[in-house]
Amino acid sequence: MADIITIPVCLDNRSYDILIGKGLIEQAGIQISTRFNVRSVAVITDENVAKLHLAALRHALETSNMRVVPIIIPAGEKSKSFEMLETVVRQILAAKLERGDLVIAFGGGVVGDLAGFAASIARRGMPFVQIPTSLLAQVDSSVGGKTGINTFEGKNLVGAFYQPQLVLVDTKALSTLPLREFRAGYAEMAKYGLIENSDFFEFLEKNWREVFARTDKLDSAIATSCRAKAAVVARDEHESGDRALLNLGHTFGHALEAFVGYDSARLVHGEGVSIGMVMAHKFSNYMNHLGHAEVLRVEAHLHDVGLPTKISHIKGSKPDVETLLGFMAQDKKVINGKMTFILTTGIGRSFIAKDVPTSAVESFLKTEI
């Protein structure tokens, strides 16, 4: 077993560790049984991850004398729904899991968001562990306790803050992740550089080929990302301030995801974030906060790794300005014609702009579509 990196998430009595290393799925039984006194474990996963990795996790947990109840959901964003939430919670209850038993989210961000929300409401809250298997989930969604589902009105509009008690990041699991999904996770990783760590963005510009080749540089980039996320979450768990910086690119990105109806054949979350981050930099330039050269630098890097960077890169019909604005208003409250946006004055220098006029967003969008 290679070295394990431990990153604490400091949240008073809800503090927990993120463990990062190769082979942590095989070690899950030991890691969990030394920390929790549980007899039964619901493992919520999706069809793809179940086929590739469930047997290994199941074996590890059963070897440590846990009863494993697998709950397998269809893969994809559409599973973050009220219907699937009901299915999952009812399977937890039907399997007679007790309040002190454990819920494990084993998969990407979809599984993590849904399973975390289910854990927060089943029996009024059950202990919860994240074993993220997509790059996006490993660097972002498994840490920080945001859980939830989508509705017709928009993404993540129903949910809860519910922290896991442990996060096991097995970087070996990424060997089976399709390239398109790897790239999508990479977008969230680059986000940490763009928000507040220009050195990390530069590291990615220099080393992205090795990161994509899944060398040790990948593990180190995942650790940097988790440290960044843990620090922001510790500063502002419930997003009353700084945590909003993590939404860089997300207001535009979420609107694009809603526009395609969460159809992952057309756009997955990280791709929406990639286009959204480029738009956020262009919009910062439009609002006179950022030079054009930096917009080009961000766009060039995301393009180099193969991510979409423009609305025109989305296959199929194009959105109109009004539709996108409608989704954006749902994502971010509009107060007196003003919206909150994450803008930037340079790479690693993002800030929260609270009073961006909707009219400026509208005229900017007209230049983009």
Catalytically active residues are 124, 146, 188, 229, 239, 243, 247, 250, 254, 269
**Candidate residues 31, 48, 120, 247; the one interacting with ligand NAD per rule CB under 6 A:** 48
38 or 144: CB nearest ligand NAD: 144
Least separation in angstroms between residue 297's CB and ligand NAD is: 24
77 or 219: CB nearest ligand NAD: 77
**Candidate residues 16, 31, 84, 146; the one interacting with ligand NAD per rule CB under 6 A:** 146
Cα–Cα distance between 130 and 43 in angstroms, integer?
10
Q: Is 270 in the site for ligand NAD (CB under 6 A)?
A: yes
**Candidate residues 18, 28, 49, 66; the one interacting with ligand NAD per rule CB under 6 A:** 49
Cα–Cα distance between 206 and 366 in angstroms, integer?
34
42 or 139: CB nearest ligand NAD: 139
3 state SS of 150: strand
The site string for ligand NAD over 174-193 (x = CB under 6 A, - otherwise) reads: x-xx---x--x---------
If you write DSSP's letter for every residue of 88-125 in order, what string do you get? HHHHHHHTT--TTSEEEEEESHHHHHHHHHHHHHGGG-
Mark the segment that binds ligand NAD (CB under 6 A) among 22-30, 56-64, 141-149, 213-221: 141-149
**Candidate residues 191, 269, 282, 332; the one interacting with ligand NAD per rule CB under 6 A:** 269
In this structure, how many other beta carbons lie within 10 angstroms of the beta carbon of residue 107?
Answer: 32
CA distances from 209 to 200, 204, 218, 228, 274 (A): 15, 9, 10, 22, 18
If you write DSSP's letter for every residue of 323-335 in order, what string do you get? HHHHHHHHHS--B
3 state SS of 288: coil
Helix (H) / strand (E) element for 282: namely helix 269-286
Least separation in angstroms between residue 231's CB and ligand NAD is: 15
Cα–Cα distance between 225 and 343 in angstroms, integer?
20
| Beta carbons of 135 and 186 less than 8 angstroms apart | yes
Mark the segment that binds ligand NAD (CB under 6 A) among 1-9, 14-22, 131-139, 282-290: 131-139
Q: Is 141 in the site for ligand NAD (CB under 6 A)?
A: yes
The alpha-helical segments, DSSP class H, found in 122-215 are 135-136, 179-196, 198-212
Q: Is 134 in the site for ligand NAD (CB under 6 A)?
A: yes
188 or 294: CB nearest ligand NAD: 188
Q: Which residues contact 92 (CB under 8 A, 6 or more apart)?
A: 42, 69, 71, 103, 118, 122, 123, 126
156 or 358: CB nearest ligand NAD: 156
Give the interface size with ligand NAD as a residue count (CB under 6 A).
33
Restricted to residues 208-267, the positions that interact with ligand NAD (CB under 6 A) are none
Q: Is 84 in the site for ligand NAD (CB under 6 A)?
A: no
Least separation in angstroms between residue 336's CB and ligand NAD is: 29
Least separation in angstroms between residue 170's CB and ligand NAD is: 9
Q: Is 368 in the site for ligand NAD (CB under 6 A)?
A: no
Residue found under tokens 């220098």 = 349
Cα–Cα distance between 215 and 226 in angstroms, integer?
18
In this structure, how many other beta carbons lie within 10 angstroms of the beta carbon of residue 101?
Answer: 22
Least separation in angstroms between residue 159's CB and ligand NAD is: 8
Q: Which residues bind ligand NAD (CB under 6 A)?
A: 46, 48-49, 52, 75-77, 80, 107-111, 113, 133-134, 136-137, 140-141, 144, 146, 155-156, 173-174, 176-177, 181, 184, 268-270
